[in-house]
Every structure is written in structure tokens, then in C-alpha cells.
Chains A and B, each alone.
Chain A
Amino acid sequence: MPISYKKTVAVLEGHCEIEEAETLLAWLLEHPKGRLNLKRLGHPHTAVLQIMMALRPEVSAFPENEEIAAWLQPLWNEGM
């Protein structure tokens, strides 16, 4: 499972395919205060990214991978 859902944190790891988008959305709707752990995120499918951008949940850890962090982190900083 690329996304494992804990009590308050969803951990995204590796490649998150489009199939994950709907479950992630559902989880975030259910847990409005839920946080995302993106530490080991490899590549989110555009649909998954879109969910993150739209709902902007709190991120507990940004990706370790610098390349990803470089474009992902600003998305949380600016007024999307």
C-alpha cells in the first residue's frame, strides 16, 4: 500500500497511483484534521497531487527527496 492510513496521519510512500486518489479524498473528508506524511513520497499521480492541493491538509513531513520537495513545498507556501 503506497498510502497507509493511521489514526491522524496518512503516510504516502513511493508511487501513489490514481487509484489512491479517491480513498485519500475520502479519508481527508473523514479526518478534516488529518495530516500527511510525505517523507518517502516518490511520485504522486496528478490526481493525488490535486487532492492535496485542493484540501491542503497539514503536512507533518515533506519529502526527503529534494527534487520533489523543491516543487511540492512551495505549493503549501503560496496561496494556491
Chain B
Amino acid sequence: MDPMLEAFISESRDNLETAGRCFLELEKCSGDEGLLNDLFRSVHTIKGSSGLFDIPVFTKVVHAAEDVLDSVRSGELLMTPEHIDMFLDTMDQVSVWLDDLESTGSLGDGAEARSQVLVQDLRALLSAPPTVGSDPNVTEPEDLSQPQDAPDTGGRLCTPPGWLAAMPDKLRLALYARTGGESLDILAIEYTPDSQCFFSGEDPLHIVRTLPGMVWFHIQARDSWLEPVEMDPYQCNLVFHAVAAGTDNEIRHHLRYVNEWVHVMLLAPDQLVVPEGEFGDSEPFETFIEESTQLIEEGGWRRLRQRIHPLLEVSEPGFLQTSVLHWMETLLKEDEPNQALLESLLETLRSGVFQWPEEMFDPVTQDNTPSLVEDGTSVSMHELDEPRLAAVRQALVVQRHILSMPCSYELLAGRIASVAKVVKNLLAASESHPAGLDAAIETALDEKSPEPLVAFVDDLLSAMKPDGKKPASGPEDKPMQREEVRHQDVSGQQVGGSDGEICPRMGAMPKQMSTSAGEPPARSKTLRVDQQRIDALMDLVGELVVAKNAMPFLARRAENDFGIRLLAKEIKAQYAVINRLAEELQGAVMQIRMIPVSSVFQRFPRLVRDLSRKLGKQIRLVLEGEETEADKNVVENLADPLIHLVRNSLDHGLETAQERESAGKPAEGTIILRAISHDDQVIIEVVDNGRGIDPEVIKRKAYGKGVIDEQRLDTITDHEALQLIFAAGFSTAEEVSDLSGRGVGMDVVRSVVMQAGGRVSVESKKGEGTTIRLSLPLSMAVTRVMMVEVAGQCYGVAMENIVETVRVPTTDIQRIKHNEAVVLRDKIIPLFYLSKLLNLKVNTASSGEVAILLMKVAGQEVGLVIDEFHEGLDIIQKPLEGVLVHYPWYAGAALLGDGRVLLVLNIRELLSCR
């Protein structure tokens, strides 16, 4: 695989993990800026790096998430648990895509569709009415609020962008006429190139000029131009607005490399209708307006067309009226002209102000539709009834507030447009048409400053007070607030002008900037190394250890075979030095492989959160000792058993809130996940304070299922009984649930832990809770084994299982039925002959004594009869490969100092397949 992609995948996984953690923390304390910044950074990084690869659908989703997070960070959006749910879903999808990318190199089928859904959902969050900052008492009246201008990638009908009006009328008319015949996608494209884009060889103008189906485009400066002397010719400071007509796919494909800087909107032909020009003398049109109102209501299209024609002949170009007439004529060419749009156009003839009919964009109920044609004179707001007026006023206050909130450059234009839309609708709803709104919007958009609009809204507010009372935010505090807005705007511009992409965002958090400016950020000194390289290093160290172990043999030969004692001594001295170095090297390499268990623990907050929601229980998860380190393999092996255990505790261990309360316990259950390092073991405990396990129930169940026999039932202790939950085919759950209780969980846990060379045990007190303890070796790299000899062959036996080594006279061996046993310290120890177990030739020469290796296997002591004990030694145990894989009674193999191969026995397996 491409090394860059590989790095991207592993890095993105880390970032996803960080993001996931942050989301969960945010749920607890939603306002934490540090967390939000972490979160934003990790998502931003994923987005940024994903741009390097040809996975636009991926980038789009992450980009959408980033945008939403940005508005959360700047305080425009409040994060709710529902939002977090959605984000977590998104992160899950991203993680699935990463997996797909890793395995197949592409995103898999259906990614595009999935991406669109996610993007739409995420963007919908942005378009929801802002919830932060507005006074809870001042809510926007529902019937007046409009979905705001949401960036739309899904092709939904949305408010057309304001800059569309800059497109010459003639072109729009022509384009509209074209839509009649062919099936065309009309796309409004807003392209704000990255200010650094020239350095990556981009030529935005070229991209725009070569757009397929390019109809018109327009170039604007993003920020006002600097003094020519200060100008940096290599910083792009332009915004391109373009309208293209063609197929949606083709156009998007053309823009795929600049995807994240482009905002594409699908337009309906009717959205092209924006009459332009100067509002001339309306007198000549009065008769026409009167007649047409009637005709439009009746649907007398043909007659209307006939009226328009002569009028057009006499009207001069450049006037608004002429443009309106042209549009009406064009609209009337259709079989089913858009009546509402025609009415709006007619209204424009009357008032000189054009607005799209509302129902074009939102399904608004009839009584809310402004009565545009009922009455020619505009009604002042004073005539509205008081409650409605109050509602309008409140809505205006909210809009004003939105405008005064600090905002990054990218969001500003959208915000102005959406506020403008709401204000327009409010005015329409209150049947008032004060002049100057369009002008204010235009100036606001041109200057990229919300101020003209704020001023307009302020004027409206003060005009709205019926008896000259001051508006909600009275004039005495008005100048100050305005000042504030101007100030924010200026700072935004400066920052925005200096350094494109990142800076405007930073503008939203000037506080942190100033605090962190003094000290340079701590640079992470982490190296990211492929695990295989570490493994290779480990192998080399292993070989070094083996080579080193050959030196004592050499010393012995020097002394015995060649008779040079002095040399033998020197070799031994050198050996001591090399031995020390090798051990240190080994320790150092093992240290590299150590990772904190937190990498496994991290996933549990999410698991517990999801499951406790699903189960309807109140559960708190406590993580302890996350910094405890263990070998990477050990930690990774832990993940699955731990998930089983935590699920079990959630499902069976902890009771529901009612059950807990009636048992006199706090309603909220607790699960503690604890890691402790203890000698060369790491101990992981899963502790819950739930209902505990009743040993009596376990005993009966175990007997009923044939796990233990009657005799054992009588003698078994409570503690031993509890351990039975790990036996195969044992489940106490009355019903099998979605989560656990299939009777395999605990058994699987045990076998996985055993495989990793660990142990598992359980403690429980009925009614008080359960503790499950896993103990695992800190590192699996070096194993201490004892060499034993049987039938002339040497085998290794893991030291940790050995209890003691004894020699017993053959006469002490007793027979119990066909089993042999020996009594040691008042305990009966069953005996097994290793030679028989391995099917080797039995050594018949009896010396009157047998060597017994006393071992603890599966909690029971057994004696293993062997021929001879040898020394204990450290080995690097390798798993068996090839044909030997199928012999489970060998745990692995190791190379000895003299070149021999030592097979390490898995006694447990050996005994079970006897």
C-alpha cells in the first residue's frame, strides 16, 4: 500500500479516537473550550490529510463535520446529546471507511450515497435556528422563522445566493429559456480558493473558466485590497461566483480537486428570476398592473402575454420595469406558468422591490403567506395587533443578536444572507415594506460586514415601538453595541486578510491565541514507527541473547577440551559484560513495545454510554490506572475479553435504577475498570457494584448442566463455585439478550487470557457486586522456562506453572483405579507420565526414584513424571509455524545457545487431549 495512505489511515484512527473521547467528555461539560479545540483539531487534521487522496466523499463528510464543529466552537450552535449521537455515527462511518481504505484501497460501494446523507444531516444542524446566545425568553416565533440558508450539497431547493443578482439579466433570461427544452442542472458555484493555493499549482481562474457548461462568472476580492506596495502577489484573495448549466456530476467532477473550497448549489430555473435595473416612473404601468392582477388570478395567460408585448416595445432597457416585463414574458412561455412568481413580479412593478414568493422555498401555510397582491399600499407596522408585533420584534432582536456575534469570514456571507432572508420574511409577514433593506443587504454583502444590516434592523426596531417607547435594546446602549460589532468586524478583517484558511478561525477564539502566544507549543517528540520494525529489532535482540548464551559453552570447551583455563576465564568475564548489555538492550526494546492500557480503556466510555442508554440503566464508568503500561500485544489481546466482561457487568451485573433503589443502593451503578502493575504482571480488574453472583445458584446450574458431578457439588467451596462461570457451556442468564448471555462469553474470555499467558478469577458478594480480575504478563517477549528431559529429548516448561520439583521413591506412587497418584504434604497429586503423553519410548530403566514436576494447571495441582530436570533459562519464544501450527500442545519453540531448538510444552493442552 501507498506509504502515505498508510500513514494517513493510522493517523486518522488516532484522531478519531481523540475525537470520540472528546465527544463523550463534551456530553458531560458541553462548554469546555479546550475540549472543543482538541476535537476541532483532530477532525480538521483528518479532513486536511484526506484531501491528499482521491476520496472526495470522505473529505466531504469530514468537512461537513468540521464546519458544524466550527460553529459550535464559535458559539453559534449548542451541542446536544442528539448532535453527539449523530457525530458519533459519523465518526463510526469514517472509521468504517478507513478500514475499507486499508483493505481494498477504496471506500467501497454506496459510499457516495452514505456520504450525501451524512453531509445533509450534518449541514442541517448548521441551518437549525441558532440556540446559543439568544435569551431563552426571546425565542423566534415559530410561524415566522425560516430555515436559514444552508449550504446545500444534496440538491435541495434552497434560497438562492444573493450574488446571483449580479449576473446580467440577459444571461439569466437566456439560461431560463434554455431550461425549457433540455434537461439542465443549473449550479450556482461559490469558489473561495485557499489563499495559499498558488503554491500548490492551482489556477482558480482556469478552473472556473473551464467549468463544463460555464454560463457566467464573476470575480470579487475577498478582502479589501492592501496598498499595492504591501501586496503579496502569491496570496489568493479572490472569490469566484459562477453559474454553470450542464450535468451535476460533470461539474462536480471538474471541481473535485478544489472540493473543499467550493460550495455548489443546485438552482431551480425559477430561482434565476431576479429583475434588475433602476425603478423608473411607475405611472405608465398602472393600468397594466390592475388588469394583470385580474388575469393572473384567472389564469388568462394568453391575454396577459398579449398585454405585455406592446408594453415591452415602448419601455426602455435598463429599467426595473422592463426587466420585470421580460421575465414575465419568459415565464409565460411555459405551459403552466408559476403563478406565485408572476404575482411577485407584478408586485415588483408596483413597489420596486422584488422578492421570491415564499412557497417557492418553504411550504408555508396559507395564512402566513404575505398578501402581496391584495392591496397596493404598504401598511405600516403600527397597524398590526400587539402580540404579532411583539413576535416580529422579538424575532428581529434575535436576528440582530446573530449579526453581532463574532464570526469567521467564511460564515459571514452566509449569515448575512440568512438574516436578510428572515428579516425580509418578517417584513413581508408584517405587511410592511420599508425601503432600504435590499440596499442594506447589498452593502453588507459587498463590505463583508454585518453592520449595514444591523443598522437597518435597529432602525426597524426603533420604528416599531408604537408610542415612541424605546426598543428592547434602547438607543442609550445602542451606540456601544454597534461599536462592539464594528470592533469585532475590524479584527476579523485584519486576521482574515493576513493568512487565509486558519486565521479567520482563530479570529473566533482570540482569547486562547493571546494566552498561548507567549510560550511556543510543546512539540511532540513521538516517533511513529511501524510495528514490524520493532518486531525485527526484537528478533535481533533475541538472536543476540541466544548468541550470548553460546559463550558459556565456549568457555567450558576452552577449559575442558583445550585446557586453557585463562582463556576460559577471560571469555567468562567478557560474557558478563555482553550479558549485561544484552539484558539492557532487551529491556530497552521491550520498553519501546510498552503502551499504556488506556489505548484499550478508551473505547469503554463509548461502549458503556451506548449500552446503558440501550438498557435504560444509569451507569457510571470509572477508569483507574490507565497509565499502566504493558506490552503492545498484551494490551491488544486484552481488548476483546474486556469488552465481554464489561458487557456482562452492564447486562447481568448491574440492576436497573428501580431495582437498585429498592435494594437501598444509589440509583446509579458503577463500573470500575482498573489496571495495576504488579511485579511482572499487569492486573486488570472489572469491578461492579451490582447484584453480585450467588454461589448457590452457580452450583446448582453447574450441576444441572453437567459441568460438575454430584460429588464435587458437595465439596466445592463458594470461591471455587464462582470460578465455574468460566467453564465452557455455562450461562446463568435466564434469557439470552442482545448483549450477552449466549453462554460463550466467559469461556472465551478465559481462553483468550490463557493464550496470552494470563489468568482470570472472579470474586463476588451477593448483593454487593462482582470483581473479575485478569492478570497478564507485562511482556510476552521473554519467557522463563525450565528445561526438562524425557526419553533423551529436552523440552521447555513455562516456569510460571511450576510449583516445585521433587523426587519421590517409586514405592510412594499409589494407584487409584487406573490412575497413579502420590501423596505430597497431605494432598493427593495425580501423576502423568510426560513420555506417555508425548507418545515417546518409555524409559524402562528404573532407578527406584522418579522425578516429578509439580505444576498448577487450571487451578489443580498435578505431577508430571519426567526423566531429568535441567536448568531454567530465558528464551524468546516463537510461535510455531507451518505444519507445526496444528500441534496445540506445543506453546512454541526457542533457539538455544548451542544451536538446538527447544520445544516449549503447553501442559494444559497436553493434559486435556490425553
Residues of chain A at the chain B interface (Cβ within 8 Å): 18, 21-22, 24-25, 28-29, 43-47, 49-51, 53-55, 71, 74-75, 80
Contacts and interface: CB of A to CB of B under 8 A. Distances in A.
| Minimum-distance CB pairs A-B, first 6 | A46-B205, A21-B233, A54-B225, A46-B204, A25-B233, A55-B228
Interface string B216-248: 111111000110110101101110000000000
Contacts of B204: 46
Nearest to A29: B228
Contact of B231 (A43, A49, A54, A80): A54
A42 B397 CA distance: 51
A55 B76 CA distance: 37
Residue among B221, B229, B231 with most chain A CB within 10 A: B231
29 contacts: A21-B233, A21-B234, A25-B228, A29-B229, A43-B209, A44-B205, A45-B206, A46-B193, A46-B198, A46-B206, A46-B238, A47-B198, A47-B233, A49-B205, A50-B233, A50-B236, A50-B237, A50-B238, A53-B219, A53-B225, A53-B238, A54-B225, A54-B231, A54-B237, A55-B228, A71-B216, A71-B219, A75-B219, A80-B221
Contacts of B217: 71
Interface string B429-446: 000000000000000000
Contacts of A18: 198, 203, 234
A47 B234 contact: yes
A5 to B, nearest CB: 16
A22 B209 CA distance: 23
Given A29-B229, A50-B237, A50-B238, 18 more contacts: A18-B203, A21-B233, A22-B234, A25-B231, A28-B228, A45-B206, A46-B193, A46-B198, A47-B234, A49-B238, A50-B233, A51-B231, A53-B238, A54-B225, A54-B226, A71-B216, A74-B218, A80-B225
Contacts of B228: 25, 28-29, 54-55
B203 to A, nearest CB: 5
A71 B238 CA distance: 14
Contacts of A21: 233-234
Residue from A25, A45, A47 with most neighbouring chain B CB atoms (10 Å): A47
Nearest to A79: B446
Given A46-B236, A46-B238, A50-B238, A80 B205 contact: no
A46 B203 contact: yes
Contacts of A29: 228-229
A54 B232 CA distance: 11
Interface residues of B, number: 24
A51 B233 contact: yes
Contacts of A28: 228
- Interface SS of B by simple majority: mixed
Nearest to A43: B206
A80 B206 CA distance: 20
A80 B220 contact: yes
A44 B233 CA distance: 13
A28 B216 CA distance: 29
Nearest to A56: B225
A43 B208 CA distance: 12
A19 to B, nearest CB: 10
A46 B234 CA distance: 10
A71 B228 CA distance: 23
Nearest to A78: B166
Nearest to B210: A43
Contacts of A44: 205
A45 B205 contact: yes
Nearest to B237: A50
Interface string B679-695: 00000000000000000
Contacts of B205: 43-46, 49
Nearest to A70: B216
A51 B225 CA distance: 10
A36 B238 CA distance: 21
A55 B203 CA distance: 20
A50 B204 CA distance: 11
Q: Count chain B CB atoms within 10 A of each CB in A29, A46, A80 and give the residue with the most.
A: A46
Contacts of A47: 198, 233-234, 236
A45 B206 CA distance: 7
Contact of B221 (A24, A25, A54, A74): A54
A74 B166 CA distance: 11
A75 to B, nearest CB: 6
Nearest to B209: A43
B270 to A, nearest CB: 25
Interface in B179-209: 193, 198, 202-206, 209
Contacts of A51: 231, 233
Chain A CB within 10 Å, residue with most, of B202, B231, B233 = B233
Nearest to A51: B233
Contacts of A55: 228, 231
A71 B233 contact: no
A19 B219 CA distance: 21
A39 B233 CA distance: 23
Contacts of B225: 53-54, 80
Chain A CB count within 10 A is highest, among B198, B219, B221, B229, for: B219
Nearest to A54: B225
A74 B241 CA distance: 14
Contacts of B237: 50, 54
A15 B441 CA distance: 38
A30 to B, nearest CB: 11
A49 B219 contact: yes
Nearest to B214: A67
A28 to B, nearest CB: 7
Contacts of B218: 71, 74
Nearest to A45: B203
A59 to B, nearest CB: 15
B275 to A, nearest CB: 19
| Most chain B CB within a 10 A radius of its CB, from A22, A44, A50, A55 | A50
Interface in B106-122: none
Nearest to B242: A71
A47 B195 CA distance: 11
A14 B215 CA distance: 23
A53 B221 contact: yes
A45 B233 CA distance: 11
Contacts of B202: 46
A54 B235 CA distance: 12
Contacts of B226: 54
Nearest to B238: A50
Nearest to A28: B228
A77 to B, nearest CB: 12
A18 B209 CA distance: 16
A55 B204 CA distance: 19
Q: Which of A49, A54, A55 has the most CB of B within 10 A?
A: A54
Nearest to B226: A54
B233 A22 contact: yes
Contacts of B238: 46, 49-50, 53
Interface string B820-840: 000000000000000000000
A29 B230 CA distance: 11
A28 B233 CA distance: 12
A75 B229 CA distance: 21
A57 B512 CA distance: 42
A45 B209 CA distance: 11
A7 to B, nearest CB: 20
A51 B237 CA distance: 10
